[in-house]
Amino acid sequence: MGKLHIVGGGAIGSLIAASAQKNGVPYDCYPRDRKSMPSWAQWQDGQTTMLKPAKFAPVALAETDVLILPLKVYQLNSALLQWLPYLTQQPTVVLLHNGMGGLETATELLGYDYPLLLATTSHGALKVKASTGDVYVQYTGVGATQIGAPQIYAPSCDSPPPDTLSDLSQKKPQLANAIAALHDALPPVQYQGNILKALWTKLSVNAVINPLTALHNIQNKYIADAQFEQSRNAICDEFTQVANAYGLDFDAKSVHENVLSVAKATGENFSSMHQDVAHGRQTEIDAINGYIVDMATKKGIPVPENTLLVERVKALKL
């Protein structure tokens, strides 16, 4: 089995590292700031797991290794440029982020035929500063990770991804082995033959919950309130028009129902965009609602609600 190499010191990356430690899967972490890297993880039953000391700099990876990038979309370009000299053996790269646009960044730098996986997770994790000043990661919600090989429309890559994990094992064993390693570290990891549909589904949820919670300084559960009904419906309608223009098959009513379901299921949580605004960090608005606007523009589809949300969230930083 190859080793997992986890870039960044965020909550989800640290959770993967802690679970790998707990389950005996080899791993290393490479945070930008070693001081902000969690020292341990606290599980839901109160048990703790200590993390290995973080690495200072990238190292050359073997083909059997897995490079995991649980970063913001806007951080991907610089991270990949830093790692590029160490990827000569073409280890599997896993993109794990909110929003969209990461695939375009990765293929531009790595090439269309690079062994690449896209993933999205519903596990919940939060970085917490202890009274001692140490940072730890708290496991806040059991979830699952969906993963798959992207459909890339390029002259050398015109065949669709395998429908099943068994087919993937036959055609692309390197990717199947990487998925197995991730499953061993933090289960369950579920293979999706159409991972882009799964990512667009998550985008529809993020497009509603993230900007509205950030703009109104509220927890996720309040998104279901009647005062947001008009905005929710408008975002979902625009999302559906854009997604379906790119060959996906969404129904606006079902999209809206799924948004409400997620908002209620994660009711006590604050969205990542809410937290970014609260802590004065750059938001992922360009990779979420901004992505919908960009894709709509290419098809000539008006999306006034999403356009307004992008402008309003960006204005919060002023």
Which tops the pLDDT comparison, 154 or 215? 215
The DSSP element (H or E) to which 121 belongs, if any, is strand 116-121
Tokens read off for 54: 């973080």
Average pLDDT over residues 131-137: 88
pLDDT tens profile 41-63: 999 999 999 999 999 899 999 99
Beta bridge partners of 50: 40
30 forms bridges with which residues in the sheet? 7
pLDDT at 23 over 50: yes
What does the pLDDT read at residue 153? 44
Domain with CATH 3.40.50.720 in the chain: 4-193
* Mean pLDDT score of the chain: 92
Chosen CATH of 196-315 out of 1.20.1250.20, 1.10.1040.10, 3.40.50.1980, 2.102.10.10: 1.10.1040.10
For range 27-53, the mean pLDDT? 92
Q: How far is residue 105 CA from its own chain's centroid?
A: 14
Q: Write down how long the chain is.
A: 318
102-110 and 73-83 helices, crossing angle to 10°: 20
Check whether domain 4-193 has CATH 1.10.10.410, yes or no: no
Share of the chain above pLDDT 90, in %: 80
Structure confidence by residue, pLDDT tens digits, 86-108:
999 999 999 998 889 999 999 99
Q: What is the pLDDT of residue 155?
A: 45
Q: What is the pLDDT of residue 152?
A: 58
Token pair listed for 255: 């999209």
Q: Which residues pair with 189 in a beta bridge?
A: 145
Work out the widest C-alpha separation in the chain, in whole angstroms.
56
* pLDDT tens digits for range 277-303: 998 999 999 999 999 999 999 999 999
Summarised one tens digit per residue, pLDDT across range 153-210 is 444 555 678 889 999 999 999 999 999 999 999 999 999 998 999 999 999 999 999 9
Distance CA(247)–CA(136), nearest Å, equals: 42
b or e along 14-45 (b: 16 or more beta carbons within 10 Å of the residue's beta carbon)? Answer: bbbbbbbbbeebebbbbbeeeeebbbbbbeee
pLDDT at position 122 is: 87
pLDDT score of 124? 86
Question: So what's the pLDDT on residue 222?
Answer: 96
Q: Is 162 in a helix, a strand, or coil?
A: coil
pLDDT score at 154: 44
Q: What is the pLDDT of residue 266?
A: 85
State the span(s) of the chain assigned CATH 1.10.1040.10: 196-315
Q: What is the dihedral of CA 143, 186, 140, 14, to 10 degrees?
A: -140
How many angstroms separate the CA atoms of 45 and 298, rounded?
49
